[in-house]
Amino acid sequence: MEEKPIRRVKAEWTEVVLVCRKCSKKLKGGFGENGDQKLAKALRKALGAKGTGRKSGSAVIEVDCLDVCPKGAVVVVRGSRPREWAIVPRGTAISAVVDRLELLER
């Protein structure tokens, strides 16, 4: 069987934030102005990230279970800081999440 070459795909991302999909699903929202958004969606809005498109400056991506499973919270990992995981309780202001993860330039 002939082996296909590994190809590269370019992206404009300077940061990627991983959000546990399983935690988010259990909470059924709990974030955003009205408390009805998933954390990933609220973070995308706050960061101006347009979905997971490769041309966006940053990306917020929901990933499968991160095996922490906190009650009433969502696990988040900033890609550039893989040793610093955050457990974000339901209802936490998105501005506090952005500040804690240091996602915006000051």
Q: What is the pLDDT along the chain (106 residues), one digit of tens a residue?
A: 889 999 998 888 888 999 999 999 999 889 988 888 999 999 998 888 665 566 667 889 999 999 999 999 999 999 999 999 999 999 999 999 999 998 865 4
Domains of the chain: 15-100 (3.40.30)
- Confirm if 68 and 75 have CB atoms less than 8 A apart: yes
d(CA 9, CA 53): 12
pLDDT at 105 (0 to 100): 55
pLDDT at 62 (0 to 100): 95
Cβ count within 10 A of residue 66: 17
